[in-house]
Amino acid sequence: MASPEQAQQASPELFFATVNAYQRTEALRAAIELDLFSALGAGPRTAAALGERCSASERGIRILCDYLVVHGFLTKEGNRYANTPDSAVFLDRKSAAYLGSAINFILSPMLTDGFKNLAAAVRKGGTVMGEHGTLAPEHPVWVEFARSMAPMTTIPSAAIARLMRLEPGRKHRVLDIAAGHGKFGIAFAREYPNVEIVAQDWPNVLAVARENARAAGIEERFRTLPGSAFDVDYGSGYDLVLLTNFLHHFDPETCERLLRKARAALAPGARAATLEFVPNEDRVSPPVPATFSLMMLGSTPKGDAYTFPELERMFRNAGFARSELHALPPTFQSVVISYS
Amino acid sequence: MASPEQAQQASPELFFATVNAYQRTEALRAAIELDLFSALGAGPRTAAALGERCSASERGIRILCDYLVVHGFLTKEGNRYANTPDSAVFLDRKSAAYLGSAINFILSPMLTDGFKNLAAAVRKGGTVMGEHGTLAPEHPVWVEFARSMAPMTTIPSAAIARLMRLEPGRKHRVLDIAAGHGKFGIAFAREYPNVEIVAQDWPNVLAVARENARAAGIEERFRTLPGSAFDVDYGSGYDLVLLTNFLHHFDPETCERLLRKARAALAPGARAATLEFVPNEDRVSPPVPATFSLMMLGSTPKGDAYTFPELERMFRNAGFARSELHALPPTFQSVVISYS
């Protein structure tokens, strides 16, 4: 219970800001749908001028832009709005780092529906969306993922490829498990001319990965392995296995089963590189990996954001000798390198 | 367009935090539905103990609580969670200042549906929910409002009653327009024993106001005037008219029409007290009143959060001599006192 002194000094500000936080999501989504940030690419504009460019009412644009100023996406001087530096980089369609398409995945009903009755998911301890949530075989959400999220991998995929320091002269075979858009494997093929990629995923998803391999000019070193990561035959003798944003969908037992299978496909002394949201052991820091657990609670039966000791134990139980944790700034993710 | 230097220093953190902001809303809603904060009223508890008290899985509670720690609603020491001082005051059901019921109104589909296609509302310049949005006659959302939001008025209603300094000896008649839960008028009746209240609203809403007047022990000085604020006969000779959270639903022309009608009901020299979200003239500060405009864009055809000069002009056009602005800390609202 609160003391009278606490009650006097208390503020409901956080409560109201949080209750209404869904409006932040919707305001950003609306601005991306209206392509507002691209309309500001050439410089500051008034609500009237933006309304004309975005085919929207001046009044609606004025209210939306003021909201986006308050929340840090735009600046306002007099009655003219402008992109912040971050908005210019990530939200102007003409920018190479454009992230706006990510909302097609992150805000797809397949993910957001899992939050419509979050209390039920907390009671149950997992998603209330069907038996498997987003993990049902050939779920179309992963095609949307492959199409929408590829632009976001530019920085981390190149960073992992460099981090793994493959020997330049030698041929390497890399198995990319649950490859999705294929961009992580493709980054290795681009960084190392002797690397050959085998990309595993659902067939509908691999179609997107093949397009990306072709666009990157590495298709002759890019093979596909269609099917479930748990059932398909990986083959053997790989020098590296990539597990990017995959383990968080499963419980530790399922992860260990997969890791045993992955280890069996490796050549002696080869490595696994795992990209994950890895919270500290307190599970409440840093904010991005710590809050990722809730995404898994809403959308999967048993997924989680695992701490490094938890991941280390899974790899050890699966037969790996040791694991190392590497931060991957400026991303909010980490790479675990495990030695077979 | 972003320069290469901007691109190098840019961070997508705000983008991702905002895209996923809807999860903050849903996490808080789930915690209130599970009555998690009340379960922490007696002191810190583990996820396992909370799971038992809230009839929920330990895993679900752990993930939800960690999320609420990151977002400032709980603290964590070892594996035990505790309420922050603000959560103890506002979110423990046993607290007199409990606000949790406010989600029944603030997160009712009648308000949140207006944000499901916010881009369409921006294009149109007003709500896309039916012809009148939440302003349709006898809309049930206002009964929910009257029931859910009453606890939030304790501080502002007492503050307005004191601010208006009615002469203690004399009889006063107060007209409470769009009274809702009736709490603002009731606060005057409690502060001043010679005050008589006439509360106007839809009949279904006034039933709630009458309950509240009875509970406050002032029902013999509380009359009701059922009907539309725009059509019903107010009577005349009032010493004060209250307009609490009403003008923001309408455009300035409609406000002026209402204010002329209100002024005609006042005794000579009497006053109007208007409680509103009043942003500064830049319309992007302070955050709470500035962002309130978007709520009106989503849920009403033409509503807005008006600046003081805009409100002043409406009152002047309606025949009032002058208006004064009074901040009402610790609330995020202001009172405009207008002299007839």
Q: What is the pLDDT of residues B200-256, one digit of tens each?
A: 999 999 999 999 999 999 999 999 999 999 999 999 999 999 999 999 999 999 999
Q: Sign of the C-alpha dihedral, residues A88, A92, A96, A102?
A: positive
> Is A291 in contact with B89 (Cβ distance < 8 A)?
no
Does residue A284 surpass a pLDDT of 90? yes
pLDDT of residue B139: 76
B176-197 mean pLDDT: 96
From the list B2, B25, B60, which residue is nearest A122 (CB)? Answer: B60
State the Cα–Cα distance between residues A54 and A273, nearest whole angstrom.
Answer: 44
**Residue B296, exposed/middle/buried by CB under 10 A (0-12, 13-18, 19+)?**
buried
Q: Which of residues 144-203 of B touch A (CB under 8 A)?
A: 152
Report which of B278, B67, B124 is spatially closest to residue A21, judged by C-alpha positions. Answer: B67
- A82 contacts in B (CB within 8 Å)? none
Structure-block tokens of residue A103: 């909302």
Q: Chain B 16-55, CB below 8 Å of chain A: which residues?
A: 16, 18-30, 33-34, 41, 55
Mean pLDDT over the full length of chain B: 94
pLDDT surpasses 70 at A234: yes
DSSP strand pairing (B238-244 vs B195-201): unpaired
Among B19, B95, B307, which would you mutate to test the A interface (most chain A Cβ atoms within 10 Å of its Cβ)? Answer: B19
What is the structure's pLDDT at B282? 98
- In the 8-state DSSP scheme, what is residue A227? S
- Span A16-45, pLDDT tens digits: 999 999 999 999 999 999 999 999 999 999
Chain B hits for A91, CB-CB cut-off 8 Å, are 15
Query: Per-residue pLDDT for B135 more than 80?
Result: no
**For residues B228 and B222, what is the distance between their CA atoms, to the nearest angstrom?**
18
pLDDT at A91 (0 to 100): 97
Q: Is B158 exposed, middle or buried (0-12, 13-18, 19+ CB in 10 A)?
A: middle
* CB-based contact A118 B58, cutoff 8 Å: no
- Express the helix, strand and coil content of chain B in percent, nearest 5 each: 50, 15, 35
C-alpha to C-alpha distance for A157 and B126, rounded to whole angstroms: 43
Residue position matching structure tokens 């649950």: A178
Query: Partners of B36 in the beta sheet?
Result: none
Out of A207-216, A326-335, B277-286, least confident range: A326-335
- What pLDDT does residue A3 have? 65
A126, with CB counted inside 10 A (0-12, 13-18, 19+), is: buried
Averaged pLDDT, A179-197: 96
Whether the CB of B129 is below 8 Å from some CB of chain A: the reply is: no
The contacts of residue A187 (CB under 8 Å, 6+ apart) are A153, A157, A158, A160, A161
Give the model's pLDDT for residue B44. 98
Task: Assess B91–A contact: CB distance below 8 Å, yes or no.
Answer: yes
* DSSP, residue by residue, B2-25: --HHHHHH---HHHHHHHTTHHHH
pTM to 2 decimals? 0.93
Distance CA A138, CA A140 (A): 6
- Does residue B131 surpass a pLDDT of 90? no
A231 touches chain B (CB under 8 A): no
Distance separating alpha carbons of residues A158 and B242, to the nearest angstrom: 63
Between A3-12, A119-128, B53-62, the lowest mean confidence (pLDDT) is in: A3-12
Radius of gyration from C-alpha coordinates of chain A: 22
Q: What is the DSSP string of A125-138?
A: TS--STTTGGGSTT
Phi, psi of A251 (to 5 degrees): -80, 165
A308 interfaces chain B, CB cutoff of 8 Å: no
**Dihedral sign for Cα atoms in the order B161, B163, B165, B168:** positive
Cβ–Cβ contacts within 10 Å for residue B258, how many?
Answer: 20
Picking from A66, A103, A282, the nearest residue to B290 by CB comes out as A66
Residue A82 at interface with chain B, using a CB cutoff of 8 Å = no
Q: Which residues of B touch A60 (CB under 8 A)?
A: 121-126, 297
Task: Mention every residue, 6+ apart, whose C-beta is less than 8 A from residue A74.
Answer: A40, A65, A68, A81, A82, A83, A84, A87
